[in-house]
Structure 1
Amino acid sequence: MVENRPLLTVLSHVILILGVAAVALPVWLALVASTHPTSAFVSGTVPLWFGPEGLSSYARMLGEGVSTSGTPPIGLMLWNSLIMAMTITIGKIAISISSAFAICYFRFPGRQLAFWMIFITLMLPVEVRIVPTFEVVANLGLLNSYAGLSVPLIASATATFLFRQVFLTLPDELTEAARIDGAGPLKFFWDHALPLSRTNIAALSVILFIYGWNQYLWPLIVTTDEAHYTIVMGIKRMASVVDDVPRWNEIMAVVVMAMLPPVLVVVAMQKLFVKGLVETEK
């Protein structure tokens, strides 16, 4: 039992407030900076309160983009990032839950070997296998396409492992009852395994969506056409101008807009996300 001591209560609240401030301060600075003119940043300082421009930077970036940095309108880059993140999320979930179901409920030679080969790929991030992956994508003619952006990233050993752990917690009596009722593997999957994995699917969907949304290195390599630039690529190009001073107000406006979709996903799926993370039987 935790003792109720006033000093510890005050200390814990102070630590929580400091933690929230450390996380929220960069977001606040980005929001404030987006409302100031470019001249406000010449001195190298960042204002701490809202400026006179209001939402004009957001409207300008959504409609026009920045010609000096070679970025298309921000709306297009947001759309590209959304397609990429959704494809990666759905693809990872579909492949991982199917492979985990096969490993847990089908008996075939090399079943454990297949699982451990999938598990070992956890030690091979995208950066390690990026050259052969790029060669495969280029040979298939998938450069500058949504498939090239998303398909090479849809395999997930982590998600496969987590779904396998979930399926291992399902009682054998449930499988036997379904078999007695005449349910085949697919019916058991759709009627029992999939619904019982709902919270895990929700938790993984949030994590995988943010993972896909924040991708930078892979889109940078497979994309040379502005029509397929992602929002993270756009922010980098805006901050790396050569013949001009970075327009920090517009960059911060894009940063704020880039944060909104992941925030909305987390807020919308908060309950299922938390439940999927805290369930003990995994």
Structure 2
Amino acid sequence: MPAEAAPPRRAGGSDRVAHAILLLGVVLFALPLWIVLMGSTHDAATIGRGEVPLLPGGHAVENYTAAWQRGGAGVPGGRMLWNSTVMALSIALGKIAISIISAYAVVFFRFPFRKAAFWSIFITLMLPVEVRIFPTFKVVSDLGMVNTYAGLIIPVIASATATLLFRQFFMTIPDEFVEAAKMDGAGPLRFFWDVVLPLSRTNMAALFVILFVYGWNQYLWPLLVATSADVETVVIGMVKMIGSEANTEWNIVMATCVLALLPPVAVVILMQRWFVKGLTETEK
């Protein structure tokens, strides 16, 4: 009788090490967030004494109410969250719309200097934000868009990265799809709407999550262009709330930080399935 195959060896030791490393990473990442969450439920005196609360307190309702209605530096937290939401949504949707159209033109249309047009877009990735931020601010100021939603959104609404990603995906679409669309009498717009857009749904979803978080976390550009309370974002507002050590209401600051976490976390959770599919799968 043939000898039975030996059972596969279990890598129990290596699994335990991997799990221990993952657990340590989770603790290092989650502990500061937990301290902020717990600190937002205590009064200012507790935080002022330098205590690090690890258990919830009894001032959560009043702290979050104050953060929403009063905020800091004279701007209600609700207003700052609204401004950040408008900016992040507009930046994400605008970048996707502009990038998918420009990538579609570069891949499926034939015109002079087509590759030069793409590389002129791509080369902007080599320029640091600090290099072009002051010329951009000069243009925005001359156009009278300082302290407006347009000034916050339009200068950062184009994305060379998203254009590159859409271009690389469009190049994987088989030529047979294009030929079949031509045989059916579909023009460029119908081919874009009926074929390209449905194939790009997961890619758009993944980019939306990334670009929404990018727009939400914007700091340098809103700091320059939004000097009015009417368009102040929550990221700028939290920085302004931190004054001198004696005058800072840390419980309100922490409550505002928790509120500022909710929209991007909600976007990631709600679109998690699409986000993972967009990063790992290619639909054809």
TM-score grouping bracket, smaller chain normalisation? over 0.9
Contact 2:222 2:232 in 1 (8 A): yes
Q: How does 1:68-147 map to 2 (within 5 A)?
A: 70-147=73-150
2:267 alignment partner in structure 1: 265
Decide which of 247, 252, 255 is 1:253's aligned counterpart: 255
Q: Given residue 258 of structure 1, which amino acid in structure 2 is its aligned partner?
A: A
Structure 1-normalised TM-score? 0.95
| Residue 50 (structure 1) shift | 1.2
Q: Given residue 274 of structure 2, which amino acid in structure 1 is its aligned partner?
A: L
Partner Cα distance (1:176, 1:233) in 2: 51
Whether 1:173 aligns to 2:176 is yes
Structure 2-normalised TM-score? 0.94
| Residue 9 (structure 1) shift | 1.9
Decide which of 204, 224, 229 is 1:226's aligned counterpart: 229
Partner Cα distance (1:71, 1:196) in 2: 47
1:51 alignment partner in structure 2: 57
Partner Cα distance (1:273, 1:3) in 2: 35
| Residue 8 (structure 1) shift | 1.6
Whether 1:206 aligns to 2:209 is yes
Contact 1:71 1:238 in 2 (8 A): no
Decide which of 7, 10, 16 is 1:4's aligned counterpart: 10
| Residue 245 (structure 1) shift | 2.2
| Residue 280 (structure 1) shift | 5.6
Partner Cα distance (1:280, 1:101) in 2: 17
Q: Provide the aligned length of Structure 1 versus Structure 2.
A: 277
Whether 1:19 aligns to 2:21 is no
Partner Cα distance (2:80, 2:191) in 1: 41
| Residue 44 (structure 1) shift | 2.6
Partner Cα distance (1:3, 1:130) in 2: 58
Query: Could you say what secondary structure the match of 1:129 adopts?
Result: helix
Contact 2:71 2:252 in 1 (8 A): no
Partner Cα distance (2:246, 2:30) in 1: 30
Q: CA 1:3/1:155 → structure 2, altered by over 3 Å: closer, same or farther?
A: farther
Whether 1:30 aligns to 2:32 is no
Give the greater-gyration-radius structure (CA): 2
Decide which of 196, 200, 206 is 1:197's aligned counterpart: 200
- Give the superposed CA RMSD: 1.6
Contact 2:42 2:58 in 1 (8 A): yes
Contact 1:71 1:237 in 2 (8 A): no
Cα deviation 1:87-134 (Å, max 9, x = unaligned)? 101110000000000000001111000111111111123222011100
Partner Cα distance (2:245, 2:57) in 1: 26
Partner Cα distance (1:243, 1:262) in 2: 29
Query: Could you say what secondary structure the match of 1:127 adopts?
Result: helix
Contact 1:96 1:159 in 2 (8 A): yes
Report percent identity of matched pairs: 57
Partner Cα distance (1:242, 1:9) in 2: 48
Q: CA 1:3/1:191 → structure 2, altered by over 3 Å: closer, same or farther?
A: farther
Decide which of 47, 63, 72 is 2:69's aligned counterpart: 63
Partner Cα distance (1:208, 1:275) in 2: 16
Partner Cα distance (1:11, 1:3) in 2: 16
Cα deviation 1:131-162 (Å, max 9, x = unaligned)? 11001101111111000000000110000000
Partner Cα distance (1:139, 1:223) in 2: 15
Cα deviation 1:204-234 (Å, max 9, x = unaligned)? 0000000000011111101111111000001
